[in-house]
Amino acid sequence: MTNADQDRQLTPLDTPPSNSPHRPPQLSFWIRELPFTLLLILTIGGVAYVSFSRQPISVYWDILAPLIGLLCIWYGWPHAHDGAARLRLVGTQLLHWIAFLLVMNTLFLTDVQSVLTAPSTGLAIFTLLALGTFTGGLHVLSWQVCLLGLIMAFCIPAIAWVEKSALLLLLLAALVVGIGTTIWWHWRARGRRIA
């Protein structure tokens, strides 16, 4: 075998030629954004539960906040290139979310609960969680985590409005269903007459 033949033969450890169609698998946009969506749904669900049950659920928030902290660490990890940067990442997120949990749990103290209603406690926790998520995203320089915090923050007035006007929304939903049913019934009856 000549040197030219040896150069043309590839071993299994060699990289494939550059014109190969093989690409590393990439996650779709929806799969990559799934953790953010799940955390947003869990957060809004917790606020809705507190608002309608009129009972504070501190354990729920005590579990959800570290999950958001883990999400921040997960998204910041690839950007922390050495051991010191990774330790700093974990340390700042740990301190950040411990501080959040301490402040949040002060809202559940008996003296504070005597002043706040359950819906206002839920909104206060949601506000703190939005702020904590946004600043946690700033620590790891993740636009996705910051966006999650902003979406949470924009949901606060919407949740307050929904709580104040639940009866109005129920009546509007009944009106839409009634109009939709009437149109559907009329369309179906007209289709039978033509056939």
Residue 133, judged by CB atoms within 10 A of its CB (0-12, 13-18, 19+), counts as buried
Q: What three-state secondary structure class fits 111?
A: helix
Asked if the model's pLDDT at residue 25 lies above 60, the reply is: no
CB-CB neighbours of 21 under 10 Å = 5
Mean pLDDT in residue range 8-26:
49
User: Residue 11's pLDDT band (boundaries 50, 70, 90)?
Assistant: very low
What's the predicted TM-score (pTM) here?
A: 0.65
Contact between 50 and 121 (Cβ < 8 Å): yes
Locus of tokens 């009437």: 182
Asked if the model's pLDDT at residue 14 lies above 50, the reply is: no
Contact between 59 and 49 (Cβ < 8 Å): no
Q: What is the pLDDT of residue 13?
A: 46
Amino acid identity, position 44: I
Q: By C-alpha distance, which of 151, 99, 156, 103 is closest to 126?
A: 156
Asked if the model's pLDDT at residue 92 lies above 90, the reply is: yes
